[in-house]
Amino acid sequence: MKALITTWLAAALLVFGSLAQADLTIEITRGSDRATPIAVVPFGGGDALPEDVSRIIHDNLARSGYFDPLERNAMFERPTTGDEVRFGDWRALEVRYLVVGTATQEGNGYRIQYELMDVSGERRMLGEVVTAGNGELRGAGHYISDQIFEAITDIRGAFSTRIAYVTARGTGDNIRFVLHVADADGHNSQQILSSDEPILSPSWSPDGRKLAYVSFETGRPAIYIQNLNSGERVRATSFEGINGAPAWSPDGRRLAMSLSKDGQPEIYVMDIGSRDFQRLTNNSSIDTEPSWAPDGQSLVFTSDRSGGPQLYRYDLASGESERLTFTGNYNARGRFAPDGESLFLIHRGDRGYQVARQELDSGRLVVLSDSGQNESPSVAPNGTMVIFATQQGNRGVLGAVSADGRSSFRLPSAEGDVREPAWSPFLD
């Protein structure tokens, strides 16, 4: 699809593109109590298509926590081009931005023309024609969402990314574990691996083409690396004891992991090309759940060397580990924000095991999720959202919360328990 994307009204884009930059000051800040009101008008001709592209955009923007899209039944008029927009009418509805467009079939594919209008400035911020092949309508909706999100917030959109997760159905000896990859909104799920033994800890390669994960398919845990396009896979480690918690380095050449081959779980780094191992930790406690800093210079990991689990940071240059978390007696599975300035983690607080964020400079810890029993936080590549595993009734489902804790949502799930989400990097 990407190759087919063409710009429309190139001159207008240039002009309004720079205006959009100037518009970055729009009050979308993490401190804001209100999401920005926007209206995504149903696209002209969209009813005839298999997917409602404007609905996909509406839902994406709503889930982001940055926007509060106007419901369709509150719209008095449905313009399909910028020229048809009567700004005063939308100002009356207190809408700040407007998305209008048309979506039509063209040959074997689709042609979507959209414009993003700034209501108060009475001007066009974006205008584009997107062509999508058969089966690419949802992808087109995510692409357009990304453009709109970035034009208004100056943050790269992450709607075109994917998530890996594991489902488990059944109980006792009859559990079926399946590793899936789906779009970030939960649609287009594909099965990657199915087993009657546990599968856990999927980790994306930085290029988004491979997954490392732990599978017990031989009756013992082993770490595998699987190419998502070809399906080809290799067993990376199968030592005696735990082979767990694989984490890809930012340069894609190394895999951090936890191995208990020498007694208790320790953090190792494997060079994927040479299969050389470097042992980072060496003590009689549990060391697991490594995660790389975005600059690749350090790793955060969980250790119970002080008694209960806490997060530590291992500096690769000095070989020293420093304790990072001091709030409460259970802090585990840290994941860096993309800017490297904070960590997302599981913190045992008033309501059980909750997703929290800790600023590295100040050490301040903020609980983000509102229910207990959360696991496996994974951060969107633009840092705006964290996806995690949680409980709804007696079932495991995926939840997500914005990085500032202000908005949250759950992902639709099929039957069975859903867990172990891993948010992909940006997929170019």
Partner 1 sequence: MQLKPYAKCLALALSLALLAGCASRGGSQDGMAGSADGSRDGVSGSDATRSGQASGSRMGDGAGQQADARIPEVRTIYFAYDSDIIQSEFEPVLASHVRYMRNNSDASVVLQGHTDERGTREYNMALSERRADAVERFLNVQGVSPSQIDVVAYGEERPAARGQNEEAYAQNRRVVFAY
**Sites of contact with partner 1 (CB under 8 A):** 171-172, 175, 198, 200-201, 216, 219-221, 241-242, 244-245, 258, 260, 264-265, 286, 288-289, 302, 304, 309, 330, 332-333, 346, 348, 352-353, 373, 375-376, 391, 394, 419-420
Work out how close the CB of 237 gets to partner 1 at its nearest, in angstroms, rounded to a whole number. 14
* Cβ nearer to partner 1, comparing 17 with 416: 416
Residue of 36, 95, 31 whose CA lies nearest to 68: 36
Q: How far apart are CA 252 and CA 313, in angstroms?
A: 20
Work out how close the CB of 332 gets to partner 1 at its nearest, in angstroms, rounded to a whole number. 4
Work out how close the CB of 379 gets to partner 1 at its nearest, in angstroms, rounded to a whole number. 15
Work out how close the CB of 420 gets to partner 1 at its nearest, in angstroms, rounded to a whole number. 7
* Cβ nearer to partner 1, comparing 25 with 394: 394
Q: How far apart are CA 426 and CA 428, in angstroms?
A: 6
Work out how close the CB of 200 gets to partner 1 at its nearest, in angstroms, rounded to a whole number. 6
Work out how close the CB of 244 gets to partner 1 at its nearest, in angstroms, rounded to a whole number. 5
* Cβ nearer to partner 1, comparing 216 with 426: 216
Q: Using the structure block, give the residue that is written with the tokens 């705006």.
A: 384
In Å, how far are 29, 186, 394, 422 from 399, measured between CA atoms?
22, 11, 15, 12
CA angle 144, 335, 299 (to 5 degrees): 125
Q: Is 173 exposed, middle or buried (0-12, 13-18, 19+ CB in 10 A)?
A: exposed
In Å, how far are 186, 374, 398, 420 from 412, measured between CA atoms?
7, 17, 8, 15
* Cβ nearer to partner 1, comparing 118 with 266: 266
Work out how close the CB of 16 gets to partner 1 at its nearest, in angstroms, rounded to a whole number. 46
Secondary structure in 3-state letters for 319-349: CCEEECCCCCCCEEEEEECCCCCEEEEEEEE
* Cβ nearer to partner 1, comparing 56 with 332: 332
* Cβ nearer to partner 1, comparing 88 with 307: 307
* Cβ nearer to partner 1, comparing 265 with 399: 265
In Å, how far are 24, 96, 356, 368 from 33, measured between CA atoms?
18, 16, 19, 15
Token pair, residue 54, equals 């404007």
